[in-house]
Structure 1
Amino acid sequence: MQTSAGRALALICYEGVFAQDVNAAPERPDYLVLITNDAWFGSYSGPYQHLVQAQLRAAEQGLPMVRVANTGITAVIDPYGQIRDSLALNTSGYLDARLPAPLPPTLYSGTGDWPAALVAAFLLGVSVLPRLRLKRRRTLA
């Protein structure tokens, strides 16, 4: 979606939780817009966890985010994942905040989960190797 502020990638509610949805965009946007209804979370930890997940998306992509929540926490998040301005939980109002500039593409935005999956596979292999050697020694003895 092209706006006067640049290209935005609109995310609806839980699309902001899954990194693969953000990485699947055909072009890198200039910023992220997350529109959500956090009413079903209640007023305990859910809205705060959802906000932290939005901060993680912004930081891993190196993109600022505008998070709009009708009953949750509305916030402008910089590309480092820091909240620049916000409205508290269950607060009506609006924000008039400057949208931070995006950072260059991050390593994660280019590779996704592949490096972590490769490290996990390597560690799994390394942890199984001693057992295979022990089993082989027993067979040979």
Structure 2
Amino acid sequence: MEIEIHETPLRFHLYGKPASIGEEAIGAVGQRLMDEMWRIVRSSRTDTTGINYWVYMPAGRLFVSVELVPGADAPPELDCCEFELPRYLRHVHIGPYQTLPDKWASLKQKLHDHGESIGPVSLEIYGHHSADPSQHETTILIGLV
């Protein structure tokens, strides 16, 4: 597996729900936040791209979010999160979500082996859902120092 490092800054302007991960499983926290976020988006009829973003932030915080279509108003119940990744690793994972922890460990090891330092923000961008878990597409962006 080759690593793909990008040096062109990438900006994000997302709306969603934050929480501390604590001792809970990341997937359980993320699913709870995603369910709450989508309930708000649907009830307010907010136009989005339909893509889920899980942003891993400093101090063990997770921000589960969505990108709004241009001109859409954000529901007041959702928080705004804006950030930039000046340098980052980009990897597209095809496969079941349950294999993501192993993929992250492998990518982090590759970065370490290449002398790279991980920055404070990383994220997963979930493609549109497929009935076949082996075809789930998740883009992993790991911020670098």
Shorter-chain TM-score bucket reads under 0.3
Q: Greater relative contact order: 1 or 2 (C-alpha under 8 angstroms, separation 6 or more)?
A: 2
Give the strand-richer structure, 1 or 2.
Answer: 2
The two structures have a TM-score, normalised by structure 2, of 0.26
The two structures have a TM-score, normalised by structure 1, of 0.27
